Structure 1
Amino acid sequence: MSDRPVLVVIYDEGSATVLDVTEGLEPLGDVVLALWPSPHTRTVQLLAEELVPVVVLSEDPEVSARLLRAHRPDAVLTFSEKRLHDTARLAVRLGLPYHSPETVDLLRDKHAQRTRLREHGVDSVRHHRLERPADWEPALAAVGLPAVLKPAGGLGSRSTHLVETAEQGAALAAALLTGADPEPLVLEEFLRGQDRGRFGDYVSVESAVSAGGISHWAVTGKFPLSPPFRETGQLRPAALAATEREDVLALVTAALRALGVTRGVTHTEVKLTSDGPRIIEVNGRLGGWQVQLARLAGDLDPVTLAGRVALGEDVSDVRAQDEQVVFTRSFLAPYEGGTYAGVQGLRAASALEGVKRINCPHAPGDRLPPGVHTSEVGWMEAVVADHDAMFRLAERVAEELSFVVEPPREAPEAPREEPGAVTALAGTTAP
């Protein structure tokens, strides 16, 4: 029997793949992948079984806990937003440290999170919860316009809308709250960001909370959003002045303490406004794209960092080095959806100096669902000397690379042009 610690990962679609998890945690101990029954895990089960011991979980937490106890785990963690509650409940049953169920409630429910941050004087964004269409009028009265309407437990900009008129908001609330499998919504004050030029008007703070305290190990900059709130790229280091960075980190520290985070990794999005930094939302797991950015930077593996935290190590001195600029740039699917047909210019774009990888995850014939969620037809990963070189390279790739998406039958004939998005409909266009 191995004397190495055992790390159980409650696995589902999230910010780290099966290979990311196994490679990142193997230096720390023996890894057990506990697959949550879902369409995603069914597609990766055979690969997982080739790499490490696998447990297929039950939706009954006591059954799942019994299956996991047989492996004598020393730590439990997840990289999936959807599995935070399940991981917290299993951690209690296994007697292992993790975000408490109460803290997970605050991390997952954006209305509850906003309420707690207001109560602790951390941030005072106006907000209101909606559970039925009739809640629209009191929500509008409490928040005002413009505002953001989104699922209380949403992720990936799913069903997230900018509301500018009362009529628009009422219609959206009615549609989202009476459709198939409706979930509560939150209407919250729209935070207007500063004009940051070619940079996005928000950042994310990547944190690790351990016995030694809070380590904000990286601050991730962003490219400008594509309307309404679709992410188009990530970069490190963020383009912040020293005093502004300090203000951002102080705000995130206060938020994590208010939410009761005592152990785990977090990903906090912060809007940069003329009145200073404001919390967009705090998430109780590793942020998206952090594995890719860390791989490009070559300084630390955030999956390994998450494992160290789960094992109880003090990681308060861990920091990303940020000695060069690393970035990802996304090419977004059209709002209307369609059928992916292919990519052109891949060889020329991949050969540009600084480009490390261009990922094209779809095969010709794949259906792309419509919606305002962030959905990529591809993305690039690159390393350059500075931010100016980053923008130049991103523009050069856009000149060479184009994706082809055939429109759905009900789509308009002419494509809409949107900043940072791929809108190739029945033809080709540069991203």
Structure 2
Amino acid sequence: MDNTDGVVLQLGSGFQPYRQYLMEGAAKRRPLWLIDDEPAGWQLPYLVGSSVVVPLEGAGLVLDQAGLLAAAEAVARSHRVLGVFTYDEPSVIATALVADRLGLPGLTPEGAEGCRNKVKSRQALTAAGLPQPRFAVATTADEAATAAADIGYPVVVKPRGMAASIGVALVDDPAGIAAAFDRADQSSRSGPAEYHGGALIEELVDGPEISIDGAVVAGEYLPICIAHKQLGPPPYFEEIGHVVDGNDPLLTDPELRELLRAAHAALGAQYGITHTEIRFSSRGPVVIEVNGRLGGDLIPYLGKLATGIDPGAVLADVAQGIRPQLDSGHRTCVGIRFCYPPEDCRVIEIGVPEPGAVPGLVEAHPMVAAGATVRLPPRAHIGRHAYVICTADDPATCADRLTAAAELVELKYEALNETEYSGRPW
């Protein structure tokens, strides 16, 4: 790769099986310089250079923002920096700070905070008069109980600054509110210090849920793909599968497009890539949250397979303030189903079916190695051991194929039979 025309900074690289395709797509658009928490390894084929910034002590995956800014400025002294992006939740704020410091397109620090901080999101959307759940902020279990009584059960209890439904729970009655608050409060303490403690108490919105990965360029909102979400059994909001239809009529639905535009305007998100969650309730579409990065769970990868649009290339374009090309002649339906063990366990062996074992099965992969421990909510979240991906001509057929493929995944395990588990609930 030739870096004479400049580089795009990437903050964080994530879990290789979930994110490598994004780096590959972005690197085809512009030379990449990675700033991460450890030396580059698998990322090297996609880079012209890299810098290492260690996480803050005791802050989990949260990198030192001052260190990130210094690393970005050092790159800017030797290279022409054209843009900066991230697809990792913990780096959303830092990426906005780098863009602001270097005068690059992207989410502003205020816009990133509006997405990252669920309390500020709710406040901004409320001020704009947009449809969302009724909510309250609680700093103690007693405040959570009062808020839930005011809103009316059932309620959703969630941390103020986490992602991937970590620490989120449905509470049906007053008996469960204290435990749900404590779980959300504890979960929040793995993220940035400004989001530590407390929880949001929200009205439960009825209806099916979708997520939209989209680009915003100069205030224009452009949907990339829409995923229809499948949730696990309550009270937890574990995301066990997604289906992306490249011909989804919601992609051009004027009411939804206007709601998405207005929500991003209210949050101050004029440039960037976002992942928005919407529920279609009895009162119409309701904004659940807006995240300042691409979706997880391989949703952008499903979008690539379903639409032909490369999300990594879109990342690189939008980072430079370029309106991405989202037209594609390739349109189909693609879904993913994650496999969970029947109980907390230690994995002995995982067997996955070969592509074509059921009609439409294109991929099946283990997600953990032999010897790994896998725990279910509430002891842990995202306790998956494998996934399958299927294609079809329509969502219903895709869902049936995913079920058939998931049934072919074989898990040999040893039950943990733990009476207590002191680890974190994620």
TM-score of the two chains, using structure 2 as the length reference: 0.84
Greater Cα shift, 26-35 or 125-134: 125-134
Q: 1:282 aligns with which of 281, 290, 297?
A: 290
Instruction: Report whether the alignment pairs 1:56 with 2:65.
Output: no
Alignment of 1:119-130 (within 5 A): 119-130=127-138
1:14-54 Cα deviation digits (max 9, x unpaired) = 7985632431122222110111x2xxxx4x73223454211
Alignment of 1:283-362 (within 5 A): 283-288=291-296, 289-297=298-306, 299-315=308-324, 318-319=326-327, 323-333=331-341, 337-344=344-351, 346-347=352-353, 351-362=357-368
Letter in 1 for 2:135: H
Alignment of 1:11-410 (within 5 A): 11-13=12-14, 19-35=20-36, 37=37, 42=38, 45-49=40-44, 51-52=46-47, 53-57=49-53, 59=64, 60-61=66-67, 62-69=69-76, 70-174=78-182, 176-177=184-185, 181=189, 183-193=197-207, 201-211=208-218, 213-227=220-234, 228-237=236-245, 245-288=253-296, 289-297=298-306, 299-315=308-324, 318-319=326-327, 323-333=331-341, 337-344=344-351, 346-347=352-353, 351-372=357-378, 373-410=381-418
| SS of structure 1 residue aligned to 2:32 | strand
| SS of structure 1 residue aligned to 2:11 | strand
1:292-313 Cα deviation digits (max 9, x unpaired) = 2134236110110111111111
d(CA) in 2 for partners of 1:205, 1:24: 20
d(CA) in 1 for partners of 2:250, 2:353: 39
8 Å CA contact retained: 1:349, 1:400: no
Measured after TM superposition, the shift of residue 369 of structure 1 is 3.9
Greater Cα shift, 384-393 or 242-251: 242-251
d(CA) in 2 for partners of 1:222, 1:27: 30
d(CA) in 2 for partners of 1:14, 1:119: 37
d(CA) in 2 for partners of 1:337, 1:308: 43
8 Å CA contact retained: 1:219, 1:236: yes
8 Å CA contact retained: 1:237, 1:322: no
* Structure 1 residues without counterparts, runs of 5 or longer: 194-200, 413-431
* Structure 2 residues without counterparts, runs of 5 or longer: 55-63, 190-195, 421-426
Letter in 2 for 1:305: V
How many residue pairs were aligned? 396
Measured after TM superposition, the shift of residue 130 of structure 1 is 1.9
d(CA) in 1 for partners of 2:11, 2:20: 14
| SS of structure 1 residue aligned to 2:385 | strand
8 Å CA contact retained: 2:347, 2:371: yes
d(CA) in 2 for partners of 1:322, 1:81: 30
Residue 429 of structure 1: aligned partner: none
Letter in 2 for 1:290: I
Measured after TM superposition, the shift of residue 175 of structure 1 is 5.1
Letter in 2 for 1:63: A
Identity %: 25
1:262-292 Cα deviation digits (max 9, x unpaired) = 1011111111112211111111111122332
Output the aligned Cα RMSD: 2.8
Residue 193 of structure 2: aligned partner: none
1:394-423 Cα deviation digits (max 9, x unpaired) = 2322442232342223269xxxxxxxxxxx
Letter in 2 for 1:366: A
8 Å CA contact retained: 1:338, 1:367: yes
| SS of structure 2 residue aligned to 1:167 | helix
CA 1:87–1:245 in 2, change beyond 3 Å: closer, same or farther?
same
CA 1:394–1:239 in 2, change beyond 3 Å: closer, same or farther?
same
d(CA) in 2 for partners of 1:212, 1:265: 12
8 Å CA contact retained: 1:269, 1:280: yes
TM-score of the two chains, using structure 1 as the length reference: 0.83
CA 1:410–1:349 in 2, change beyond 3 Å: closer, same or farther?
farther
Measured after TM superposition, the shift of residue 161 of structure 1 is 0.6
Letter in 1 for 2:200: V
Measured after TM superposition, the shift of residue 191 of structure 1 is 0.6
d(CA) in 1 for partners of 2:209, 2:254: 15
Letter in 2 for 1:385: D
8 Å CA contact retained: 1:126, 1:143: yes
